[in-house]
Amino acid sequence: MTEELKNSDNQWLRKQIVEISRRLSAEGFNINSSGNVSVRAQRGQKEGFLVTPSGVDYETMRPSDLVFVELKKDAAVFWGKLKPSSEWQLHEHIYRKRPDVGSVVHTHSCYATALSCMEEAIPPFHYMIALSNAAKINCAKYATFGSVELAQHAVDALGEQSLACLLSHHGVIACGKDLQKAFALAREVENLSHMWLLIRNSSGSCEMIKSTEMDKILEKFKHYGQTGTNVK
């Protein structure tokens, strides 16, 4: 894990998580208290992550309601007055497996969840699939919500590099180096899911982008956007 992913558990970070959670609700990605959001963080010398609490409506959720989950070697320890999200193990497994991930956003967005209920991956029909850092967005096998099995299936679907997957009959996982990137990817997965469902339900056909081309796109996306180097 790089130093830039080590956020301190502070009021500013907690406010950011609450703000993004409310935006997900306002934009229709999550209804009532569905879905959850987390950010990798430190509490003093304790390594872990901040996660939204279980069953609390985003509109009434306060920064102090967030739960810090300490990632000890063989167990997790909770710090907070409320219970963490029922999917805390989903976040825990991803953070333990993927040191490159700094934030996880889990949604029940409409189109992506519809695809997940069909247990389908999102294939390389559009180049923006590469925002997931993979040539397609897998669908994890079904397991009961809040279970260790679901967490493991999600980790398996993400693999070593993908930043997004669907959860069978459930929803979406979007990861990022930080909260803003995870949020942006969750929005993109929903947009791609909408497009793919329109294509599937049309009478026309759709050629997939060839694997060699997807490799080129994935390489280009490594340098996409503002990378900190100015061209003079």
* Residues recognised as catalytic: 87
Calculated CA dihedral for residues 11, 14, 16, 20, nearest 10 degrees: -160
Q: HEC string of 55-120?
A: CCCCCCCCHHHCEEEEECCCCEEEECCCCECCCHHHHHHHHHHCCCCCEEEEECCHHHHHHHHCCC
Query: Are the C-beta atoms of residues 207 and 144 closer than 8 Å to each other?
Result: no
Q: What tokens were used for 169?
A: 């009959």
CA distance 140 to 121: 9
Alpha helices in 77-210 (DSSP H): 88-97, 110-117, 148-158, 179-200
Neighbours of 26 (CB within 10 A): 11
Closest Cα to residue 212, out of 138, 153, 124?
A: 124
- DSSP secondary structure of 171-199: EEEEEESSHHHHHHHHHHHHHHHHHHHHH
Amino acid at the residue 107: T
